[in-house]
A and B are shown apart, each in its own frame.
Chain A
Amino acid sequence: MAIGDLLWACPLCQAPRSIHQQSDGEFCASCGARWRRGPAGTIVAEPPAGVAEGAAPAAWLDRLPVLEPCFPVEAAAELRRGLVPDPVRLRGEVVGWVERPADPVAGTLRLEADALHFRAAHGGTESWVLDDVTGFQISARTLQVKVRGREVMALAFPGGSARYWEQVLSAALRGHWGACGRGAIREFQPRVVGG
């Protein structure tokens, strides 16, 4: 995990998906500010010209811009599907079920106003209409998406931010529901709930 996973845009210059890990730290590709972990869970920004500023993560998040995605949004992604659930046993007793993820498939994720498309690098495209997205949330560095009638999919974004995709998918769903007359979305996680 990295600061760029939390801050999907640079709070100083507002550029989205701009904070990236480099060999000597995390930097904003737009304004050049260096981002590092400060004392007691704070995050410190060091602009190239200016004074370093430290603040709690919540304070930085409050300074992020309001996201208004411009479709299509595209990024390199790795898709893993959850396979058939396996039972977890303890001394013969089934204590629950887990989904074993399949091998990752590299490709490109593309979000449009009404659908998600994944184009595998070795060929083939799959599409999921936003109406069928019943839940999504981020876990570690992946965006997990549940589509009606399908297994859970985990999407990793090499060099990108899963939190950005969470935000952009939220905005897309909100817009799509509004356009379809389905009303406002009350909650996104872990299930999309209207009302």
Chain B
Amino acid sequence: MIVYRLTQYTARLLARALLRPLEVEGLEHVPRSGPFLLVANHESVLDPVLIQAVCPPVVHTMTRSAQFTPPGMGWYMPRLAAFPVRRYQVDAQAVRIALRRLAADRPVGVYLEGERSWDGRLQPPRLGTLRLILRAGVPVVPVGIHGAYEVWPRWAGRPKRGPVRIRFGAPIHFPGPIRNRAERDRHVPDVAARMSAELLRLSDGEPGARPQGVVDNDL
């Protein structure tokens, strides 16, 4: 917790100094207690840092396992409340950890698209994320990040100064918790459409960029 708060404080200072301006809207929608899923769009490597910098409660974030492999990161990342998810397989452990955190009244952060966008457009949602939303049955707080792609796109080696806006939306209550997978899958298209539309709205994405379908990562 000390490491998390220190990092949060430092990230807040750096973000306010480097991102001009950093605007945060809708913080009143973030519950101060109890479990919820924070679901954001993912356009830059800055996204997790910015969300943790501005979000008051400690957010436990599902993070690509490769982030834990550089020296020291195996120690540091868990102290940032991050837990790893492995690719190309059903990572039951990651889902278990997410549900365990939620059961302990802690918020969990995930990205709807599962990975950073290459071109700044919102990508189709990952099926695993949608299933997790329905499996968890907790309020979903959508977060739209706008401008982080322009500051540090995936293809650029370093950031440039620029404005970033983080907008939290009102919590959405989807049906759940749904333990039956077939029943969960019946609700997937609705959740996909609603979440994509909400993240597009909050991140000022172009309506024409609305993604079609879902990506099956089978979490």
A189 B84 Cβ-Cβ under 8 A: no
B88 A5 Cβ-Cβ under 8 A: no
Known A41-B149, A58-B119, A187-B216; contact A95-B84, beta-carbon cutoff 8 A: yes
Is B65 at the interface (CB under 8 A from chain A)?
yes
B114 A41 Cβ-Cβ under 8 A: no
Chain B neighbourhood of A189, CB < 8 A = 215
Min distance, Cβ B82 to any Cβ of chain A, angstroms: 8
CB under 8 Å from chain B, chain A span 79-121: 85-86, 88-90, 94-101
For chain B, the count of residues having a C-beta within 8 Å of the partner chain is 41
Q: Which of A44-52, A122-130, A134-142, A173-181 contacts B (4 or more CB under 8 A)?
A: A134-142
Chain B neighbourhood of A95, CB < 8 A = 78, 83-84, 97
Is B87 at the interface (CB under 8 A from chain A)?
yes
Is A61 at the interface (CB under 8 A from chain B)?
yes
- Chain A residue nearest to B44 (CB atoms) is A41
Contact of A191 among B91, B94, B120, B216 (CB under 8 A): B216
- Chain A residue nearest to B63 (CB atoms) is A96
Min distance, Cβ B77 to any Cβ of chain A, angstroms: 7
Is A171 at the interface (CB under 8 A from chain B)?
no
Chain A neighbourhood of B162, CB < 8 A = 40
Known A57-B119, A57-B155; contact A101-B216, beta-carbon cutoff 8 A: no
A139 B66 Cβ-Cβ under 8 A: yes
Contact of B88 among A2, A57, A146, A186 (CB under 8 A): A146
Assembled-state Cα–Cα distance A163/B119 (Å) = 13
A98 B65 Cβ-Cβ under 8 A: yes
Contact of A98 among B69, B97, B156 (CB under 8 A): B69
Assembled-state Cα–Cα distance A139/B67 (Å) = 11
Interface residues of A (CB under 8 A from B): 1-3, 5-6, 37, 40-41, 56-58, 61, 85-86, 88-90, 94-101, 134-135, 137, 139, 144, 146, 152, 163, 186-187, 189-191, 193
Interface residues of B (CB under 8 A from A): 64-66, 68-69, 74, 77-79, 83-89, 91, 93-94, 97, 114-115, 118-121, 149-151, 153-157, 160, 162, 209, 215-218
| 16 chain-A/chain-B pairs, Cβ below 8 angstroms | A1-B157, A41-B149, A56-B120, A57-B118, A88-B78, A95-B78, A96-B86, A98-B86, A99-B65, A135-B87, A137-B87, A137-B115, A152-B88, A187-B215, A189-B215, A193-B216
